[in-house]
Structure 1
Amino acid sequence: MILDDIVGMMEVDRRNVLGTIRNFPEQCEEAIGIGKEFSKTLKLKKPKSVCICGMGGSAIAGDILRTWLRDHDIRVFRGHDLPGYVDKDSLVLISSYSGNTEETLSLFRQAVKRKLNMIGITSGGKLEKEFREEKTPFIKIPGGMQPRYAIAYLFFPLLVVLRKIRFIREGSDLGRVVRNLKETRDELTPDVRTKDNPAKRIAIKLRRKIPLIYGFGKFEAVALRAKAQFNENSKIHSFSDNFPELSHNAIVGWESPRNLSKMLAVIFIRDREEDREMQRRIEFTEDAVRNSGGSVIEIRSIYHSDLSRILSVMYMLNFVSIYLGILHRKDPSKTELLTDLKYILRHG
């Protein structure tokens, strides 16, 4: 079994992605420190809303904030156009790990023209140059990573800043969150054999399947993030959906012919705070999946704080996607079609 063969895994994982995500808790610690250092001299009045502009992993960091902190007006914008209702009562957070994301550059330039309140976050590139030219305060984060593995640096500095300006008064103990992530890691790393490693066992169940990830509430962004990780790390189709919306449409798909449903495996993200109605929705859907011939996988987190549960589930699914890619003998770091598309768009 290749997942218990460290040397064999490294032959597939040529850029040591497993080593990168193994360090996720330490990256979170560093990112919290970066946010605190930046915030020392930050002087902004509390905005009425926060608008996070980004693509890919940069946008997902905003989605995690938005779906976790639902009582706050946090919006995430992907694409080239900044809506007209974003005004000077808003704080616009311009986020691009590489600093060269075409859509994010476009949003920044529009915000500059409209003289909006902004903070940037990037590791460099064109955005850093333009932030400096426009005297836009920005958070400089470490470079040299693929953007999807830099989620700690894209998420925690934003959280620290929003606390600093009193936009949010959420009181999670970030030190405990990091400790919980280290505990999660102890079960998932490559040296933990398959029989004791839930991420490896889930990856094996997903082999030759198309994974669907069903979340709800605070886990909506986690489901979307996992879908993208399966696409990029595992090199497979994957889809995400969320309760209760999927109860009004997607559930009917489980009336499909059994030979189609057998190709699908659904990861249900469960939570200790599910109310009775949500439990009934999920359990009914799990029965529909099984009766149609699909596979059911549940993931739960035991931690007390919402943020620990959100990030620990996300962390586990990161490991799952990479182990699944290795099972497929696919280097998780490579995204050749994305590279080809960017080249064509850049050179016409």
Structure 2
Amino acid sequence: MIDEAVLDDADALARVDREGSLRVLASAGAQVRAALSAEHDLERVRDDGRPRSVLVAGLGGSAVVGDVVAALAGAGSSVPVQRRKGGPLPGWVGPLDLVLAVSMSGRAPEPLQIAAEAARRGARLVSVCREGSPLADVTARARGTVLAVPRNGVPGVPAAGSRTGLWSLLAPVLLACGAADVLDLDAHDLGLAADRLDEEAETCRPASPGFVNPAKVLALELDGVVPVVLSDGDAAEAAAARVVSMLARTARVPAVRGTLPDDAGDVVSLFDGQFVGGAGSAGGPGGGAGVDPIFADPFLDGPPGPQLRLLLLSDTEDVPHAGPVRAVASHAGVRVSELAAPPGRPLQRLATLVARTDFAATYLALGGSIDPSRSVHLADLREVWASGDGATP
């Protein structure tokens, strides 16, 4: 449960946030500008022209990069975009295809293996990683393009991992996709997105009181519930994938996601289940909601269980699909949180959705005295994998 006193005390937040996650998130706009000011050599990417298809390989916090590229390309793109977290390189990838391998450290085995196989097949290869890393070496030997991530990140900001440093990975990838004529965007679009990220950082800053800070408000709404994230629009779908990942890895909260209208039926079916209704209730007669939690008696009805909460994300001005779901949720007694991106270019709208929910997930962790940068069990898992029993997450 969130301690609201901690949430509204910037010093208390800083004591829990020992690795400075909030400061790194606030540097998202600066991460984009650092990528724009870097001397990335995209001439060869541009000269090679539009590829037959694009495959984006990324794992963990880097995986959402592929979701964003696919979202910005859209369903109507003439260049198919596929995402790959691990496993072998698909058999159809060849010299006409572009493989983008993304890893902050440049050491993640899966992107590294995919890059090596892409090089063997003669595919066009672009890597976003640290200079001098194994991934950079594989790419250089294949005469591919290495878009280096700065080792020191943004001056005055703690070092970013792939989760909090998303935009330092995403910006070079988007520049490469623009140069390859896969996406209709350029440095100007990235500059507009950086401005939007700066606006969100100011709005959601730690010193901003909870009643006017939209990220803190959303964190309170997601406290102690089972979030179900529904997206409407391509950019919102990519943002939903990011939200679920951030809730799990940052706030330690399990969440599921779906898209509208495809998954509306699956989601409203949950309204008849055990996560809707009163304390200790799996639903009233006929599968309806049980006792209202406000009137529940903990002695007669049992302790309250986690309740489902719907989070609607939209990146479109007109939301024709959300209305019916919202109405059914209201009738079933399911509470709804909504976040609609302000008008702008697709990348701007995506930036708003990602930044707002990134801050909310981090405040949800910090308000519950959880350091978002440290997970004992994730560290244990990495140790096991590093011992040779599997791949690194």
Please report the TM-score for the alignment, with normalisation by the length of structure 1.
Answer: 0.92
CA RMSD of aligned residues (A): 2.0
Gaps of 5+ in 1: none
Give the Cα separation in 1 of the matches to 2:345 and 2:270: 34
The aligned residue for residue 121 of structure 1 is 128
Give the Cα separation in 2 of the matches to 1:45 and 1:271: 30
1:99 aligns with 2:143: no
Larger Rg: 2
Give CA-to-partner distance per residue, 1:127-153, whole Å, 9 cap, x none: 123333444321110244211112112
Q: 1:263 aligns with which of 307, 327, 330?
A: 307
1:46 aligns with 2:50: yes
User: Quick check: 2:72–2:183 contact (8 Å CA) kept in 1?
Assistant: no
1:168 aligns with 2:183: yes
Give 3-state SS (helix, strand or coil) of 2:11's partner.
helix
1:315 aligns with 2:359: no
User: Quick check: 1:226–1:317 contact (8 Å CA) kept in 2?
Assistant: yes
Give 3-state SS (helix, strand or coil) of 2:147's partner.
strand
Give CA-to-partner distance per residue, 1:251-306, whole Å, 9 cap, x none: 212221424686122110134433xxx52x31221233333333200111223222
Equivalenced residues, count:
343
The aligned residue for residue 77 of structure 1 is 84
Give CA-to-partner distance per residue, 1:199-222, whole Å, 9 cap, x none: 111111211112221113321110
Q: Percent identity?
A: 22
User: Quick check: 1:211–1:237 contact (8 Å CA) kept in 2?
Assistant: yes
The aligned residue for residue 211 of structure 1 is 227
Query: Which stretch shows the higher mean deviation, 258-267 or 117-126?
Result: 258-267
| Structure 1 residue 185: Cα displacement | 2.0
1:332 aligns with 2:372: yes
Gaps of 5+ in 2: 152-158, 283-288, 290-305
Query: Which stretch shows the higher mean deviation, 171-180 or 239-248?
Result: 171-180
User: Quick check: 1:180–1:303 contact (8 Å CA) kept in 2?
Assistant: no
Give the Cα separation in 1 of the matches to 2:189 and 2:136: 31
Give CA-to-partner distance per residue, 1:166-216, whole Å, 9 cap, x none: 333346633222222222222111011112101111111211112221113
| Structure 1 residue 102: Cα displacement | 1.7
1:184 aligns with 2:192: no
- 4+ runs deviating over 6 angstroms: none
Give the Cα separation in 2 of the matches to 1:167 and 1:68: 10
Give CA-to-partner distance per residue, 1:92-135, whole Å, 9 cap, x none: 11111121112112212221221211111112532123333444
The aligned residue for residue 40 of structure 2 is 37
Question: How has the CA–CA distance of structure 1 residues 108 and 272 changed in structure 2, closer, same or farther, with 3 Å as cutoff?
Answer: closer
Question: How has the CA–CA distance of structure 1 residues 154 and 80 changed in structure 2, closer, same or farther, with 3 Å as cutoff?
Answer: same
Give the Cα separation in 1 of the matches to 2:170 and 2:88: 23
Give the Cα separation in 1 of the matches to 2:327 and 2:92: 44
Partner amino acid, structure 2, of 1:305: R
1:131 aligns with 2:139: yes
Give the Cα separation in 2 of the matches to 1:210 and 1:12: 24
Partner amino acid, structure 2, of 1:38: D
Question: How has the CA–CA distance of structure 1 residues 159 and 333 changed in structure 2, closer, same or farther, with 3 Å as cutoff?
Answer: same
| Structure 1 residue 250: Cα displacement | 3.0
1:158 aligns with 2:169: no
Partner amino acid, structure 2, of 1:224: A
Partner amino acid, structure 2, of 1:174: L
Q: 2:25 aligns with which of 11, 21, 24?
A: 21
| Structure 1 residue 45: Cα displacement | 2.6
The aligned residue for residue 146 of structure 1 is 161
Give 3-state SS (helix, strand or coil) of 1:249's partner.
helix
User: Quick check: 1:207–1:327 contact (8 Å CA) kept in 2?
Assistant: no
Give 3-state SS (helix, strand or coil) of 2:40's partner.
helix
Partner amino acid, structure 1, of 2:103: S
Give 3-state SS (helix, strand or coil) of 1:245's partner.
coil
Partner amino acid, structure 1, of 2:68: I
The aligned residue for residue 193 of structure 1 is 209
Give the Cα separation in 1 of the matches to 2:88 and 2:44: 31
The aligned residue for residue 244 of structure 2 is 227
The aligned residue for residue 302 of structure 2 is none
Structure richer in helix, relative to its length? 1
Partner amino acid, structure 1, of 2:125: M
| Structure 1 residue 41: Cα displacement | 5.8
The aligned residue for residue 71 of structure 2 is 67
Please report the TM-score for the alignment, with normalisation by the length of structure 2.
Answer: 0.82
Give 3-state SS (helix, strand or coil) of 1:234's partner.
coil
Q: 2:117 aligns with which of 110, 116, 124?
A: 110
Give the Cα separation in 2 of the matches to 1:222 and 1:6: 27
User: Quick check: 1:256–1:292 contact (8 Å CA) kept in 2?
Assistant: no
Give the Cα separation in 2 of the matches to 1:60 and 1:307: 14
Give 3-state SS (helix, strand or coil) of 2:163's partner.
helix
Give 3-state SS (helix, strand or coil) of 1:156's partner.
helix
Give the Cα separation in 2 of the matches to 1:28 and 1:289: 38
